[in-house]
Structure 1
């Protein structure tokens, strides 16, 4: 499984997107904890796109992997074991993309909720 991770360009893209996304989410979470909510939200749209790209890159990796499996079958040299191993490798990228994206979506939802709450509290204090 480790070799699948390091030998696949799509896996590297997913991991790079996850690293960037989690770094942005951690930065915003820390700013909110410190009460600096005014500095949050600058990268919100970019991070949304970054998170959404992870499962899509996983799907791309699956399609590329399946195409290589089918190309191997067409050349006539694949048995059932080779076929199942190739499909397993192809599906690994989808698993990786979803495994990285789902917690990021949940964390982003939590950060956005805290940011919206801080903005509403600020507006309520201004009116009072």
Structure 2
């Protein structure tokens, strides 16, 4: 199963870290350091899952999600938020939008669970041999 994931985060090290882990799982990974760049990637690539930081300059992760709802409504169901900290107002909006939020940094186990939750447990079975090689 080939899963195409888009990571959106303004922190280069977070992108690099998550990309490496997702590639270990056999995922194809695209990366963007802003919502605008992510929207450009979406015009040229088929993406199955978006993992976006909440706190980014210009357009934050919540605003980006609202854009995805309008422009790519089917993809909105496969939109995950990550953050090292969110304020009370952001948390309220995340709950209202019924989005999943995960604390940064994400472990390989957490990323595996996120992908498996969205695309089935087959990924977990296929990943066992990859984990053993690490």
- TM-score surpassing 0.5? no
- Answer 1 or 2: higher relative contact order, Cα 8 Å, separation at least 6: 1
TM-score, scaled relative to structure 2: 0.25
| TM-score, structure 1 as length reference | 0.26
The structure whose residues are more often strand, as a share, is 2
